[in-house]
Amino acid sequence: MQNVSAQEANSGSPLAPEWLAVPADLNSLHEPMWAQDVRKNDAGELAIDGIAVSELKAQFGTPLFVMSETDFRARARSFKDAFDAAFADICGGADVYYAGKSFLCTAVAAWVADEGLRLDTCSGGELAVAARAGIKGENLGLHGNNKSDAEINRALDMKVGRIVVDSLDELDRVAKIASDRGEDANVMLRLTPGVHAHTHEFIATAHEDQKFGLSMAGDSTEQAGLSAAEEAVAAATGYASIELLGLHCHIGSQIFEPDGFELAAQKLLHFHAAMQEKYSIVMPELDLGGGYGIAYTPVDTPRPAAEIAQAMAAVVRSTCAELGITAPGFRSNPDARLWAALLSRCTRWAR
């Protein structure tokens, strides 16, 4: 690996982006990039929640990964409180899910549950961690675009509250496995609304050409006149073993502006209303995703949870009024499912 000096980085090194400046003081702390309780103590030493790193080194050795429980809980609570307040008049609050993929261990899972959040998992390993932490299955979601039959069975064993399905093939497999067991599977369909949020192109996940989710474009299936998303809704209604809870989307990561979420909400609500009317069904939940930006670098400007929540609630409120429908649940259970549900998948709280 090539070593690059601060001067070289500032003088246009090809390894450093032009917008990323070298700090005048390399020992300074850019507060948005750190946990809220990280400070320099009187001796100039880094301290986390009042504990100097030298103390941590003496007790645990190095290398050492340290997370502030105080900060994690405060951030988790702020998201839950913000979305509950924003959606109170719409559906009585929102279910907020912590994305286990950001960082998960039994302690973190327990903190999530203590703060009133639910947990979004995407593998059998994460389900095992949740089980070890004592998380109730109803408070779990199982995500992922490549679930094995063993993971689907494990989810059914644990009575997971929501299995998020993102392909017709996976829907067929979940239906068959549940039927063979003589059980019902609670399913949400992950759709790609074609929204390009303000995020890096390599981590935008809901374009029509992405592999994650069922396309809402009308020419996305061999069945004449149906999008893949509608074909999945039609198929789900025909399976006795599928309990179709609602729709889900996740438009990207590191999103700092609310307009992408607003447009995705409009598209999903219009589709939601059309499907309920056409197939005479009730889908009580709507998952509006997450991917809220954090401060990875000094130029990143994260929005407060309340600002994002209020913007999303406003568009849900106005769109439901326009369509003349009751807000899909948006109530309590998110994973992003407002319960109708709104799932705020809040990742990277460890920061």
Express each pLDDT in 211-254 by its tens digit: 578 988 876 555 667 899 999 999 999 999 999 999 998 776 77
How far is Cα of residue 209 from the mean position of the Cα atoms in its chain?
20
Q: Are 330 and 87 in contact (CB under 8 A)?
A: yes
Count CB neighbours of 37 within 10 A.
15
| pLDDT: which is higher, 212 or 77 | 77
Look at residue 210 and tell me whether its pLDDT is greater than 60: no
DSSP conformation class of 23: P
| pLDDT: which is higher, 72 or 295 | 72
What pLDDT is attached to residue 259?
75
Separation of alpha carbons 15 and 2, rounded Å: 9
How far is Cα of residue 82 from the mean position of the Cα atoms in its chain?
16
Look at residue 351 and tell me whether its pLDDT is greater than 50: no
Which amino acid appears at position 273 of this protein?
A: A
| pLDDT: which is higher, 203 or 134 | 134
Q: What distance separates the 2 farthest-apart alpha carbons in the chain? A: 71
How high does pLDDT run on average in the chain?
Answer: 83
Compute the C-alpha angle 292/293/297, nearest 5°.
165
| pLDDT: which is higher, 223 or 14 | 14
DSSP conformation class of 27: T
Lowest-pLDDT range, 4-8, 125-129, 209-213, 282-286?
4-8
- What six digits make up the tokens of 86? 């924003």
Which amino acid appears at position 299 of this protein?
A: V
Q: How confident is the model at residue 330 (pLDDT cuts 50, 70, 90)?
A: very low
Q: pLDDT tens across 136-176, in order? A: 999 999 998 889 999 999 999 999 999 999 999 999 999 99
| pLDDT: which is higher, 18 or 283 | 283
What pLDDT is attached to residue 33?
84
3 state SS of 252: strand
Domain residue ranges of the chain, discontinuous segments joined by +: 6-60, 69-342
Look at residue 187 and tell me whether its pLDDT is greater than 60: yes
Q: pLDDT tens across 90-137, in order? A: 988 899 999 998 899 999 999 999 999 999 999 999 999 999 999 999
Superfamily of segment(s) 69-342: Alanine racemase (3.20.20.10)
Separation of alpha carbons 176 and 199, rounded Å: 37
Q: How confident is the model at residue 7 (pLDDT cuts 50, 70, 90)?
A: very low
pTM of the full predicted structure?
0.83
DSSP conformation class of 138: G
What pLDDT is attached to residue 92?
87
Helical segments of the chain, H only: 6-10, 53-60, 69-86, 88-91, 106-114, 124-132, 149-157, 168-181, 228-238, 259-279, 305-323
How far is Cα of residue 38 from the mean position of the Cα atoms in its chain?
26
- Sign of torsion over alpha carbons 262, 264, 267, 269: negative
Q: pLDDT tens across 44-62, in order? A: 999 999 999 999 999 999 9
**Virtual CA dihedral for 116, 122, 127, 132, nearest 10 degrees?**
-60
What pLDDT is attached to residue 204?
45
What pLDDT is attached to residue 1?
42
What pLDDT is attached to residue 55?
96
Instruction: From residue 16, give the alpha-carbon distance in Å to each of 6, 13, 174, 200, 300.
Output: 10, 6, 46, 16, 16
What pLDDT is attached to residue 153?
98
Separation of alpha carbons 78 and 91, rounded Å: 19
What pLDDT is attached to residue 211?
54
| pLDDT: which is higher, 257 or 5 | 257
What pLDDT is attached to residue 238?
95
What pLDDT is attached to residue 6?
46
Separation of alpha carbons 260 and 312, rounded Å: 10
| pLDDT: which is higher, 178 or 300 | 178
